[in-house]
């Protein structure tokens, strides 16, 4: 009799009912959430590209006692090290007391590239009163969203003599910004009848960079020549130097509180900085000294994780192997017993577009960080489908640390899909699962998240590293 009653009670206590995290916390915790959000917003305002995030995280790590690491360096228990991958990514780790052959490593991977508009290698031209840069967009964007808004230029130029010039213009209040034209509605009748994926084409994403003619200058290229003079005076670069430049146009918009209650954050590149930032802070603030924890920030996720700075690069496997070798451990055993969080955002349920979501398996904003057991498209294809055993382990870690979390898939079956770096880490024989912040309007120039979910991601990653 007693047992039955107990079982009934447990059934009724089934706790997987999504609750708004704000509703569960006291005023003090809410203030912590808001303080964390404030620091995050400052960080994403100051760091919009993978290069800038790499620089900033490196500085933060150095201040927190991390030392440089290169292949072959000696390592001992307690060491905190950081490795910079070609200025576009970071591997930070701390060697714990525990035997990594037995307990494995704890790894969190987040990406630090976001969708944007990249400048072409032969970009500059003048036409009919304006001067433009030709572009090739980066990542999966709705092209029409990137017109008629202020843009900033970020990046580097390697000039003829090999010097590297850093460019960041459009972020300060008195900086000029840049702009992509759209058609006025008065003349947009036929444009508006076209499909959204073509009514602004890739080759129409030309960035306005000037409009002033000066007396001197070749006929027909007076604006362009003036721009080149300005670039030369300000940066010492010539037109040819665009050949070896990496310049990106990103929204010249600051992250802001959204809503009368300030529950939400609007900002550029929550994908994936809303996961990368909490992962970084969890790495810097880790306390427990048992686990060997690794925080990996990668580039190129938005275009398929290719290249030496994407997660497919062998550099990450090399570092894990190097650590094992130096500590005298069998890397294969270590990888087999390691677990990894692929910290990437997921789609937040959007009641304006209910047709693409299945509500029981959707991420509701402010209900906590979201676990996606699998991603992929149509029959889970291309997905790292994490095992029930791994989900169980994570569930336990979250329960022990009072993490408020939810689970979801990206959208309805067969509606679309998406992928993360999870499957590439799993290829190394490391059990991996996707966990991240739900985002509304993902890949738009200005995305929406909840402060409660951001804080929950931090609590989740902190618990994982504990
Ligand atoms: Mn992402
Ligand atoms: Mn993305």
pLDDT in tens, 94-125: 999 999 999 999 999 999 999 999 999 999 99
CA distance 425 to 126: 46
Q: Which ligand has an atom closest to residue 114 CA?
A: 2
- 141 Cα: distance to centroid of ligand 1 (angstroms): 13
User: Can you name the CATH fold of 116-251?
Assistant: Aminopeptidase i, Domain 2 (2.30.250)
Residues within 5 Å of ion ligand 2 by Cβ?
271
Question: What CATH number labels 21-114+268-465?
Answer: 3.40.630.10
Report in angstroms the alpha-carbon separations of 135 from 125, 201, 202, 283, 319.
Answer: 12, 11, 8, 36, 35
Among all ligands shown, which has an atom nearest to the Cα of 109?
Answer: 1
Among the bound ligands, name the one nearest to the CA of residue 112.
1
Q: Kindly write down the DSSP assignment for every residue of 8-77, as one continuous string.
A: HHHHHT---S---HHHHS-HHHHHHHHHHHHHHHHHHHH--SHHHHHHHHHHHHHHTT-EE--TT----T
Ligand 2 center from residue 115 Cα (angstroms): 7
Question: If you measure from the C-alpha of residue 291 to the centroid of ligand 2, how many angstroms do you get, rounded to a whole number?
Answer: 30
376/321: higher pLDDT: 321
The structural domains of the chain, with segments of one domain joined by +, span 21-114+268-465, 116-251
pLDDT tens digit sequence for 187-242: 999 999 999 999 999 999 999 999 998 876 666 789 999 999 999 999 999 999 99
Nearest bound ligand to the CA of residue 275: 1
The model's pTM is 0.95
How many whole angstroms from 114 Cα to the centroid of ligand 2? 7
- Å from CA of 443 to ligand 2 middle: 6
For residue 436, the CA-to-ligand 1 centroid distance in Å is: 9
Looking at the CA of 436, name the nearest ligand: 1
CA 368 to ligand 2 center in whole angstroms: 19
The helix or strand, by DSSP H or E, that contains position 271, with its residue range, turns out to be: helix 270-285
* Contact between 264 and 41 (Cβ < 8 Å): no
Is the predicted pLDDT of residue 18 greater than 90, yes or no?
Answer: no
pLDDT of residue 16: 66
């Amino acid at each position: 009799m007693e047992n039955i009653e107990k079982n009934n009670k447990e059934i009724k206590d089934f706790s997987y009912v999504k609750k708004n995290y704000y509703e569960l916390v006291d005023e003090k915790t809410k203030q912590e959430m808001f303080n964390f959000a404030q620091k995050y917003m400052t960080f994403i305002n100051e760091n919009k590209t993978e290069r800038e995030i790499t620089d900033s995280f490196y500085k933060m790590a150095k201040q927190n006692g991390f030392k440089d690491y290169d292949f072959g360096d000696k390592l001992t228990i307690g060491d905190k090290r950081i490795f910079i991958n070609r200025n576009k990514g970071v591997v930070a780790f701390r060697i714990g007391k525990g035997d990594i052959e037995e307990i494995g490593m704890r790894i969190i991977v987040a990406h630090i590239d976001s969708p944007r508009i990249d400048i072409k290698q032969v970009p500059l031209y003048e036409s009919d009163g304006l001067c433009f840069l030709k572009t090739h967009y980066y990542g999966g964007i709705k092209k029409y969203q990137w017109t008629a808004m202020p843009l900033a230029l970020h990046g580097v130029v390697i000039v003829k003599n090999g010097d590297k010039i850093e460019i960041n213009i459009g972020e300060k209040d008195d900086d000029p910004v840049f702009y992509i034209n759209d058609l006025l509605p008065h003349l947009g009748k036929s444009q508006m009848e076209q499909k959204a994926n073509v009514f602004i084409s890739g080759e129409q994403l030309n960035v306005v960079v000037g409009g002033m003619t000066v007396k001197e200058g070749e006929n027909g290229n007076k604006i362009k020549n003036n721009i080149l003079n300005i670039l030369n005076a300000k940066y010492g670069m010539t037109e040819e130097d665009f050949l070896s430049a990496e310049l990106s146009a990103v929204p010249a918009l600051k992250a802001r509180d959204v809503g009368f209650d300030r529950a939400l954050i609007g900002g550029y590149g929550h994908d994936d900085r809303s996961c990368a930032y909490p992962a970084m802070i969890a790495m810097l603030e880790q306390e427990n000294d048992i686990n060997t924890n690794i925080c990996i920030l990668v580039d190129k996720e938005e275009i398929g994780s290719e290249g030496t700075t994407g997660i497919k690069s062998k550099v990450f496997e090399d570092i894990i192997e190097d650590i094992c070798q130096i500590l005298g451990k069998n890397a294969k055993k270590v990888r087999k017993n390691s677990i990894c969080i692929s910290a990437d955002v997921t789609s937040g349920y959007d009641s304006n577009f209910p047709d693409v979501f299945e509500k029981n398996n959707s991420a509701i904003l402010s209900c906590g960080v979201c676990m996606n057991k699998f991603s992929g498209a149509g029959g889970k294809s291309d997905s790292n489908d994490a095992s029930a055993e791994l989900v169980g382990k994570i569930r336990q870690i979250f329960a022990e640390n009072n993490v408020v979390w939810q689970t979801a898939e990206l959208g309805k079956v067969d509606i679309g899909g998406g992928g993360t770096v999870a499957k590439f880490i799993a290829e190394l024989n490391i059990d991996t699962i996707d966990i991240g912040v739900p985002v509304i309007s993902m890949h738009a120039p200005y995305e929406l998240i909840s402060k409660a979910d951001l804080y929950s991601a931090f609590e989740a990653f902190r618990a994982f590293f504990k």
